[in-house]
Amino acid sequence: MIKLYLTSSCGSCRKARKWLIDNQLEYQEINLATGLNRASLIEILSLTDGGTGDILSVQSDLYKELNLDFSKMRLEQFLKTIEAYPLLLKRPIIIDENNIQVGFNEDDIRKFLPREFREIQRSGAYSVFLKQWLESLA
């Protein structure tokens, strides 16, 4: 299952949601503004290549206001800080069992499509296939 971590005021979040809907992918939407549980945060971190640096919004006003040195934090302190201030995270964060995407990128988000769809898209027959597939669902 795809999980979409977002806030309602984020333009990139709206683009990601629209892309998932347009591609008829099932997803669970999690609003970061209402908080993020520890298990979800650990799941997100486990999918990153660069750890906390991949998901922290270092350009945000909140990050600058808190003036914390995340590079010196132990994992437990980091988790507690993000639980208290989930809007320190970049948005959107899109994950499934094997993939993560931070931010919206129309090319990169394709990794959440089933493999057969990606192969068909590459072959140039995607629009014909998608139309036939949608008709078969009706």
| CA end-to-end span of the chain | 23
Any idea how long the chain is?
Answer: 138
Cα separation, 58 vs 69, in Å, equals 11
13 is an active site residue: no
Contacts of 31 by beta carbon, 8 Å cutoff, 6+ apart = 6, 7, 8
Strand, helix or coil for residue 31: strand
Choose, from 10, 13, 36, 88, the residue flagged as catalytic: 10
Where in the sequence numbering do the catalytic residues fall? 10
